[in-house]
Chains A and B, each alone.
Chain A
Amino acid sequence: MDLTTIVLILDSSVRLATPLLLACLAGLYSERSGIFDIGLEGKMLAGAFFAAAAAYWTGSAWLGLLAAIAASIVLALVHGFASITQRGNQIVSGVAINFLAAGMTALLGQAWFSQGGRTPQLGGDARFGAITLPGAEALRDVPVVGEIYYELISGHNLIVYVAFLMVPLTWWVLFRTRFGLRLRAVGQNPAAVDTAGVSVPFLRYRAVIICGVLTGVAGAYLAIAQSAGFIVNMSAGKGYIALAALIFAKWRPWPAMGACFLFGFLDAVSIRLQGANVPVIGEVPVQFMQALPYILTVILLAGFIGRAVPPKAGGIPYVKER
């Protein structure tokens, strides 16, 4: 395997890891505040649909992005209302949101566009195009460095860069700000935060809204950056993979990036390895590669490669004065 092949695989790993990373960081905020969220998939799907629909009507990718974020926040608030205000079961609420998004996007897609749930193809300003970083063209012919800079680092769309910049930002917010400290505390011991005079519901609502914003961006990436329109069930389990990555990263931002990149890489390799013979092992079934993130997560959850301990108050509704 030569350098070009490796660079191309890594390049597509970056593209495939981007929506996972955004959804994974979204889950990170929510779950660190003690609200489990298996509804990442649904929020991402809703974001993708409304991004495509709004971008089609307005012709602007930016308005598409805004619509995606708005739709995703609405679902996040439903989850917040059920799990914070109504003290409902967070898992059940997450499942409901996934179905609501799957049903609504297909239903509205059919009602509005009559193309079997798809949105019309988008082009031009309705999509986020590739950005060429300064000097990429000039460096293109320099061996190794030029190739890596031109192919791998430059030439992605805006959301890819935003996603990777979100990693240090999330780290800073969580571990260097007062809000982050309180957010982490409310996921470990909400009673202590309450005693300190900080509102547990308000903190959790803010975390859930941040989660909505990020899943909305992830959805917009799927529909108007990576592809040129919405197709039914386009998130295709990515929300669950992001959840797996979150567990794999043990609810920490930098490892989250590593896990998402790993899962993106596995995806890229499995597309490339279709039917190819790998030395020593022989032909690896594509299905095995596709299942690998889930298998790895189960093994991790079983505690065979380090332990993944979720935030202590996760999944438990907080009741003041009991």
Chain B
Amino acid sequence: MSAPFEKLPTWVEVGVIPLVNVVVAFLVAGLVVLFIGENPLEAVKILIWGALGFGEGVGFTLFYTTNFIFTGLAVAVAFHAGLFNIGGEGQAYLGGLGVAVAALALDRYVPWWVTLPVATAAAALFGAAWALIPAYLQAKRGSHIVITTIMFNFIASSLMVWLLVDHLSPVGSMQPETRTFEAGGTLPELGGLFHLFGADMGAAPANISIFVALAACVFVYYFIWRTKIGYEIRATGLNPTAAVYAGISTVKITIVTMLVSGGLAGLMALNPVMGDQQRLQIDFVQGAGFVGIAVALMGRAHPVGVVLAAFLFGMLYQGGAELAFDMPTISRDMIVVIQALVILFAGALEHMFRPGIGRAFALMSTSQRERVVAEEERP
């Protein structure tokens, strides 16, 4: 991408500009609330209380956060190689198939802590496999990864409906879902942990897969910034031509990056399938793959940023449900609007405020100010 703009200090580059972009996105969202005829400040109050004000709310917030950490990391890893993985939705869906296969095979014989690593591996494997074909087509045959991953989202959706309706639902059942997993195929919830802090999680489905998500963050950090292949991925993302001259195989980088990205997206299925519903259902991903795009953009493709952004979107999802309940004119779709605005301002319009911020910053630094002052004083 072109960057025909002046160089700014790092803290402005990674701190101020993204913050301004996100703040503007939320201000515009506030205008939307105002337009509907509600009080935005009141809405924010309800939202924050709904997300963090009581034990069950926090439990739900953490549950959504877990989903978004996985899908956000998936998009972030691809970003580093200059790839835009818009197929998180399909990869997570297939990941669910991996989780279900592992859980259905093992849940009657072993405890959950044996099933979990197998299900984790299966989810990552299935998600990665679904990303492999678009990756191969991009690397070897030059078909655009955005288009192929979009197509693969729809193909995944059709495939899963077919599997669930015709093959995976138990005999005699009309529901397009697998049988409910036994104890060996379900993940412990965080209720005990909440009790340590004297809080009651209620019916919230937050479960230990959040620790898998945090482990994935550590993995991504080491993978991208501390391994040779991570270096090659970043080099390819910054300048593919230079990377080729440096002897980096873009074919290999594309495929490895997409496999990791798809695997991370696939892992997301652990949370809803094993942690919450304890069975494989239609459409359990519920747009988390797309939220990952906003999360990765907002978190600047860094694991720490992704965790923070995922938590913010977790709050939005839980708080948004509360908001829809308390202010019936604002439906839960407000979250989608906010998500869109974050993608728009933090992604597509990321350079919009740069000239202004650059000028403001220039005025703040002394040498620049002196020059400006000197110029103004010139007769």
| Chain A residues close to B by CB (< 8 Å) | 38, 78, 81-83, 86-93, 95-100, 102-104, 106-108, 110-111, 114, 117, 237, 240, 243-244, 247, 285, 287-288, 290-291, 294-295, 297-298, 301-303, 308, 310, 317, 319, 322
Contact = CB atoms under 8 A, between A and B. Distances in A.
A284 to B, nearest CB: 11
B351 A86 contact: yes
Interface in B87-144: 133, 137, 141-144
B229 interface: no
Contact of A298 (B2, B32, B148): B148
B166 interface: yes
A107 B349 contact: no
B320 to A, nearest CB: 11
Contacts of B343: 92, 95-96, 99
From B36, B84, B154, B334, name the one whose CB has the most chain A CB atoms within 10 angstroms: B154
B150 A82 contact: no
Contacts of A110: 329-331, 333
Given A87-B351, A240-B150, A302 B141 contact: yes
Nearest to B336: A103
Given A103-B340, A287-B165, A291-B154, 17 more contacts: A38-B146, A88-B348, A89-B347, A91-B84, A92-B343, A103-B337, A104-B32, A104-B333, A106-B331, A108-B36, A111-B329, A111-B330, A237-B154, A291-B155, A294-B152, A298-B133, A301-B141
B182 interface: no
A310 B144 contact: yes
Interface of B: 1-2, 4, 32, 36-37, 84, 86, 133, 137, 141-144, 146-148, 150-152, 154-155, 158-159, 161-162, 165-166, 290, 293, 297, 328-331, 333-341, 343-344, 347-352
Contacts of B334: 103, 107
A92 B84 contact: yes
Contact of A88 (B37, B148, B333, B349): B349
A27 to B, nearest CB: 12
Contacts, number: 161
B135 to A, nearest CB: 12
A96 B2 contact: no
A308 B32 CA distance: 41
Contact of B339 (A87, A103, A240): A103
A294 B151 contact: yes
Given A96-B343, A103-B340, A287-B159, A240 B154 contact: yes
B132 to A, nearest CB: 13
Contacts of A107: 32, 36, 330-331, 333-334, 336-337
Contacts of A294: 151-152, 154-155
A92 to B, nearest CB: 4
Contacts of A285: 162, 166
Contacts of A310: 144
Contact of B158 (A38, A102, A288, A298): A288
A78 B344 contact: yes
A89 B83 CA distance: 12
10 contacts: A83-B348, A88-B351, A96-B348, A99-B339, A104-B32, A111-B330, A291-B159, A294-B151, A294-B154, A301-B141
A95 B348 CA distance: 9
A96 B158 contact: no
Contacts of A106: 331, 333, 336
Given A82-B344, A92-B84, A294-B155, A87 B333 contact: no
Contact of B150 (A38, A86, A117): A38
Contact of A92 (B36, B141, B166, B348): B348
Contact of B349 (A86, A98, A243, A288): A86
A298 B144 contact: no
A263 to B, nearest CB: 12
Given A102-B333, A104-B337, A107-B334, A95 B86 contact: yes
A160 B155 CA distance: 28
B331 A86 contact: no
Contacts of A303: 141-143
Given A88-B351, A285-B162, A291-B158, A103 B147 contact: no
Nearest to A283: B166
Contacts of A103: 333-340
B59 to A, nearest CB: 25
Contacts of A108: 36
Contacts of A82: 344, 348-349
Given A99-B339, A302-B141, A88 B350 contact: yes
B29 to A, nearest CB: 10
A290 B4 contact: no
From A97, A106, A243, A301, name the one whose CB has the most chain B CB atoms within 10 angstroms: A301
From A38, A99, A243, A290, name the one whose CB has the most chain B CB atoms within 10 angstroms: A99
A88 to B, nearest CB: 4
Nearest to B163: A287
Contact of A322 (B4, B143, B350): B4
B46 to A, nearest CB: 16
From B148, B336, B348, name the one whose CB has the most chain A CB atoms within 10 angstroms: B348
A141 B314 CA distance: 63
Contacts of B339: 99, 103
Given A95-B86, A240-B154, A285-B162, A100 B340 contact: yes
Contacts of A290: 158
B48 to A, nearest CB: 20
Given A107-B330, A294-B151, A294-B154, A288 B162 contact: yes
A142 B267 CA distance: 62
Contact of B340 (A99, A244, A291): A99
A155 B148 CA distance: 37
